[in-house]
Amino acid sequence: MILELMGKYGRVFLCGGLVCLIGQLLINKTKMTSARILVTFLLAGVILEAVGVFEYIEEFALAGATIPITGFGKSLAAGAIEGARIGLFEACTYGMRAVAGGLTAAIVFGFVFALLFRSKSKTA
């Protein structure tokens, strides 16, 4: 039981850490901005889901694949693919339906924390 749990946590840590390592290498070795790196990871999740590979990565990596921004891209693509089976309009709307809960939580928590805490500017 413990070895099985350690195996799952190890895979999650390994795969999530690999995503972070790739991101850090892109920051250090290229002139890509953080926004471009985020979009690259998002598109990687979309492409991996569209070609049917993300399912196998998710099966191995568990939350290590779904928690980073690649998982958000996967969810968008999965919703759009599901909607495309119905029609063109649904292909556009089902992607947002698939991620609506996560986006709502991010907006609500961001608003609550903005009310509770004051931001401070960095001094260099």
pLDDT(3) > 60: no
Give domain status of residue 124, yes or no: no
Give domain status of residue 122, yes or no: no
Mean pLDDT, residues 58-70 taken together: 86
The pLDDT value given to residue 110: 92
The mean pLDDT of the chain is 88
Q: Give rounded-to-5 percent helix, strand, coil for the chain.
A: 80, 0, 20
Sign of CA dihedral 8, 9, 13, 14: negative
pTM of the predicted model, to two decimals?
A: 0.76
pLDDT(115) > 80: yes
Mean pLDDT, residues 80-92 taken together: 89
Please, are residues 60 and 11 in contact by the beta-carbon 8 Å criterion? yes
The pLDDT value given to residue 1: 59
Please, are residues 40 and 26 in contact by the beta-carbon 8 Å criterion? yes
The pLDDT value given to residue 78: 92
Give domain status of residue 121, yes or no: no
The pLDDT value given to residue 9: 85
Please, are residues 42 and 69 in contact by the beta-carbon 8 Å criterion? yes
Give domain status of residue 77, yes or no: yes
For 54, the enclosing helix (H) or strand (E) is helix 54-61
Q: CA 122, CA 20: separation in Å to the nearest integer?
A: 25
pLDDT(118) > 80: yes
Give domain status of residue 30, yes or no: yes
Give domain status of residue 79, yes or no: yes
DSSP secondary structure code for residue 122 in this structure: -
The pLDDT value given to residue 36: 94
How many domains in the chain? Answer: 1
Give domain status of residue 104, yes or no: yes
pLDDT(124) > 70: no
Provide the domain limits for residue 60.
2-116
